[in-house]
Structure 1
Amino acid sequence: MFIDCHALNALRLSLFAAIESSMNGSSLSITGLGRNIDNIAKEKHKIKRVDRLCSNVNIHRKIEFVYARMVYLLVGKMKQPIIHIDWSDLDERKQNFLIRATLAAQGRSLMLYEEIHPLNRKEKPKTYLLFMTKLKAMLPNDCKPIIVTDAGFRIPWFKQILSLEWDYVGRVRNRTHCKKVAENECAPIKKLYGLSSSRAKTLGAFHLGEKVSFKTRLVIFSHFQTQAQRA
């Protein structure tokens, strides 16, 4: 097999130049990255350089291998790492979104894997399934992480986590309905807010949801306390 070392080195140099340009505060567009490259080349040539880099299909094919290597280096031999997963907006029109998995490490979040999706694929079960399948393939075979998510992730998500034989910590709030396992009446979860304090307290086994019931353990906790609770 013949490898063009000159072309490979040129590709790496272009990648490093684009990274340095972004770190220096340029906009993350082809034109913005190109204009901010720090060398004596003409502006049109710098923009064309970034355009060729972003159009290189071989780079896109290798992105998941890069993520897999990052996971290998960051997770290492951890048996039960804590991994946060959340969504972020990518544009003001809210048409494109980023889903990202980060490793909790001594007060920092270290990026493991991420994907970009349009609005019509955001928070869809199929999107979640493909994302988690790829993440699982990157983790060691004996790794069973604790997946931590915010309130936007709902019952189908928790079921997918359990299907992978992983553990989860999720946040539920406001109009999500729940009932104790031994009871019949459902009520909005916000009715439990009066039981909260700055110390986490387990409430035992509950069923979440009205139409689709999901059994889980509820733990209540609040960053804020009312004046009566502080007294």
Structure 2
Amino acid sequence: MKAFVAGATGATGSRIVKQLVSRGVPVVAFVRDAAAARSQLPIEVTLAEGDVTDKDSIRRAITLEGRSSTSGGCTVLISATGARPGFDPTAPYQVDFEGNKNLVDVAKETGIEHFVMVSSLCVSRFFHPLNLFFLILYWKQQAEAYLQASGLTYTIVRPGGLKDDDTDSRALIMAPADTLFEGSVSREKVAQTCVEALYLPQSRNKIVEIVAQENANPQPYEALFAGVA
């Protein structure tokens, strides 16, 4: 396994990278600025500059400057990319939809075996307040649909409100699409869920929604994924 991580310097993406490195998985981190990323990510990580809105730069990074996936390129892909809060009304469309669409297209071209996408709770609720931010949930849902229709093996992870507390001891709750509509979860648990998905056949071709709850019964990831139809 060799992992390609888009959004690798983000608050969730960087945790995903560290989880993969801790398991000995070679990682190509797709970043906009390699010099800035070098101080944020483990030294073992290969940095590849580019932008999710530039399909050619994705292609070069995934295939390691033109080599096929069978001769050193990436075999799995985790997308933790997302538009940053700001005043650009096109950002969610460009990053959350077009960016993920580009990742899916290149993943198909290059033989990616498993595509994991970090999305969001409540993407199916068009009138959710977060859609006031230039339809960000709507465009995430369109990206989900594009991945589902692609023919790739996929896992879509929809976390609740993201917390930076890596010591959060609450147990993880996992449910099928459009089941959970409130709750929070640590970014560390989101990262763990994404990485576990790569190893577990129970995760394949599923949308899973995750939050953490007090007094919930802790379960292994195999059981959590298996419990989602």
For the aligned pair, the TM-score class normalised by the smaller chain equals 0.3 to 0.5
Superposition TM-score, scaled by structure 2 size = 0.35
Which structure has the higher relative contact order (CA within 8 Å, separation 6+)?
Answer: 2
Superposition TM-score, scaled by structure 1 size = 0.35
